[in-house]
Structure 1
Amino acid sequence: MTAYKVSIVIPVYNAKDYLHDCLKSVLDQTLSDCEFIFINDGSTDNSFEIIELYQKKDNRIKLLNQVNKGISGARNAGIEIATGEYIGFLDNDDFLKKDFLENLYNNAKQHDLDILISKTILGRDGKYIIKYSGFDVNTIFNQDFIQDQIIPNLLKVEDLFAVWNKIYKRTFINKNNIRFPESRVIEEDNIFNIQAFNKAERVLFIDYAGYYYRDVADSKSRQILENDYFSKALEKYYFDYKTEYSLSILDAEFEKLKAIRFIQRIFYLVYKCSVLKVPFKEKRDYIKHMVFHEKVYELSKKYTEEILKDKGVYEKMVLKIIINKTPNLLVLLILSIQIGYHPRISETIRRINKLTKKH
């Protein structure tokens, strides 16, 4: 039996337009001692047949066909059959640099790490940029640092949410029974990472980027509305991570960080909903429901200063609308985003936001 150094789990759902890039990038890896576990999660296109063709040429490809369980269920199925020293994850529409797995594995093995984190090459507005993690590179962080800095980061912002720019020691994952929550449809990565970092004793950030994240526009433009992402965000806010995963953070700090994260999610959803190609009244009503929700107002009022720290003009405007309860100004904001949205304009807004942040 082949002893694999890395197992990569790839959930697949109707990905025929991107699978060839994904498959070629894993088979071209300079680290050859890998297995690539494709979980066909109930695809209705010819994704399964595409993977089968590649599997016939390379026995490192493992293919599991299952009824649709969602990305968490697919990833968990992959974890169960993985045999590599380390486990990583790849989305079916993304791809890797040739030396990605070699770089990550060599560093993880050399330092006997529980988790290794790389930078990401993020596809946005027709170009790729490097996304940084915000933590020092090439320093092994112990459990004290993880509890003091990394866990709060996971509770507050999205910087470390993703699982696909990391690899995890397989024995560590299985010993602590770390799995994806199959009951959630958003931010399942974050819950997985909260569990993993909470148990980790040795983690390392490296100064390397080799994962290409492709921001693919979902053909289901109504997904945010149909899946009611606001209700999911509210559910996440009320979820007691502290008790569920035995986090050592103080109650007051825990509540503050959760509140900041929740309101930041509102900022994101207001923008994403505003550019949806759905009837204006439908998205306006949904955004108003979010922005003027009692809990949103309460937390915005209570943690205004903390929420606005390092934020730009867009976030300040949304928070002002929330606190002052001004529906007319909200409608103007939605219209401005809808009419003015363009990738170049979007990038300009991000730059302005960056310039107006207080450091």
Structure 2
Amino acid sequence: MGVIKVSVVIPVYNAKNYLHDCIKSLLSQTFVDCEFIFVNDGSTDNSLEIIQKYQEDDIRIKLINQENKGIAEARNAGIEIASGEYIGFLDNDDFVKVDFLENLYKKAAERYLDILVSKTILGRDGKYVIKDHGFSTDLIFAKDLIQEQIIPNLLKTEDLFAVWNKIYKRTFLLENNIRFPDDRVIEEDNIFNIQAFNKAEKVLFIEYAGYYYRDVADSKSRKIIENDYFSKALEKYYLDYKKEYSLSISYEELEKLKAIRFIQRIFYLVYKCSVLKIPFKIKWNYIKNMVFHEKVYELSKKYDEEILQDKGLYERTLLKIITKKTSFLLVLLILSIQIGYHPRISETIRKINKLTKKR
């Protein structure tokens, strides 16, 4: 093996059911000048033993074994020992196409990029669909375009929040001290990307899709009520990104973008809570506290037109419930989602939702 060109950091926590697919997809890469840094974050199953077994047969596998500190600190630990020209990330329950690293590295290296972004193959409702990143491809985004288009997107939507469909120049991350925040339970990758794109000078989006994201049923992201994702969303809304990360955006624009993202998060959390297999009283109490929260009402009234831009029937219905404070309609909405939810029906609803969007 020659000079390391790509380091892949894989945080691992109790992933025995998916880890073999993850590791095999890396070891099968057509691109060999890589290292695979597995950070065992205090797993209580046999994940550590699985990694060690593969490590015996492939020197490209590096292993960090630590007490459970969370995914942010696990990724940071991997960054610290990475030696590749570029750094990528892989979740322990996902996998990639055999030419994934080769495709991303060649594009990044030939254009001397700080960040390269690919499309994702998203596991949803029992099948895989390609998720678009929403940006022009084969166009170099310099600092002015990054500030004009990408930073607002990161503040307004979740289109770019993931780190695993991207590779980052290692020296760029180190020189700008870009790391994952260790004080957040969720969305640590969005904060990482806000820092990274804000400092970047050359970014490229490509058409290629080679990362398979699995929507795992027992994922931590499904523990919405237990982890109180609404409080986390509220905390994120109040975060002063401009001051914290030296953003050039105006405070007026920042407030609007954060408000849109916050209310869109409420749309998502209401749907996800509605389909949870828990007693109705528990989900009802959590959902009503979200929907009728004073800040949710205030922002929904103030930015209703911006929030509903390109949105469909579900979002329009829920926003009306929020602004009219109608508990009865909220109960009906929750019950209709709960009773009617099925992967095939869910996909049909998405299609209907798209048809009802205002052009």
Quote the Cα distance in structure 1 between the aligned partners of 2:338 and 2:259: 27
Q: Secondary structure at the match of 1:104?
A: helix
> CA separation of 1:6/1:273 partners in 2, compared to 1, >3 Å: closer, same or farther?
same
Quote the Cα distance in structure 2 between the aligned partners of 1:105 and 1:61: 19
Deviation (angstroms), 1:52: 0.3
2:11 maps to a residue whose letter is P
Pairs aligned (count) = 359
The C-alpha deviation readout for 1:10-33, integer Å capped at 9, x for no partner, is 000000000000000000000100
Q: Secondary structure at the match of 1:141?
A: coil
Give unmatched runs, 5+ long, in structure 1: none
**Given the alignment of the two structures, is residue 132 of structure 1 paired with residue 132 of structure 2, yes or no?**
yes
Quote the Cα distance in structure 2 between the aligned partners of 1:237 and 1:262: 6
Identity of aligned residues (%): 79
State the match for 2:346 in structure 1.
346
Query: Deviating runs (4+, > 3 A) in structure 1?
Result: 219-222
Q: Secondary structure at the match of 1:196?
A: helix
Quote the Cα distance in structure 2 between the aligned partners of 1:73 and 1:26: 22
Which runs of structure 2 are paired with 1:43-122 in the superposition (5 Å)? 43-122=43-122
Give unmatched runs, 5+ long, in structure 2: none
Quote the Cα distance in structure 2 between the aligned partners of 1:2 and 1:294: 58
Q: Is the 8 A contact 1:221 1:277 kept in 2?
A: no
Q: Is the 8 A contact 1:310 1:357 kept in 2?
A: yes
- Structure 2 length as normaliser, TM-score? 0.99
C-alpha root-mean-square deviation of aligned residues, in Å?
1.1
The C-alpha deviation readout for 1:141-199, integer Å capped at 9, x for no partner, is 10000000000000000110100000000000000000001110111111000000000
Q: Secondary structure at the match of 2:35?
A: strand
Quote the Cα distance in structure 1 between the aligned partners of 2:28 and 2:223: 34
State the match for 1:278 in structure 2.
278
**Given the alignment of the two structures, is residue 203 of structure 1 paired with residue 203 of structure 2, yes or no?**
yes
Q: Is the 8 A contact 1:221 1:276 kept in 2?
A: no
State the match for 1:214 in structure 2.
214
1:6 maps to a residue whose letter is V
Quote the Cα distance in structure 1 between the aligned partners of 2:252 and 2:16: 47
> CA separation of 1:140/1:221 partners in 2, compared to 1, >3 Å: closer, same or farther?
closer
Quote the Cα distance in structure 2 between the aligned partners of 1:316 and 1:244: 33
**Given the alignment of the two structures, is residue 183 of structure 1 paired with residue 201 of structure 2, yes or no?**
no
Quote the Cα distance in structure 2 between the aligned partners of 1:122 and 1:348: 17
Which runs of structure 2 are paired with 1:159-308 in the superposition (5 Å)? 159-218=159-218, 223-308=223-308
Deviation (angstroms), 1:278: 1.0
2:28 maps to a residue whose letter is D
Deviation (angstroms), 1:335: 0.6
Quote the Cα distance in structure 2 between the aligned partners of 1:183 and 1:175: 22
Q: Is the 8 A contact 1:122 1:212 kept in 2?
A: yes
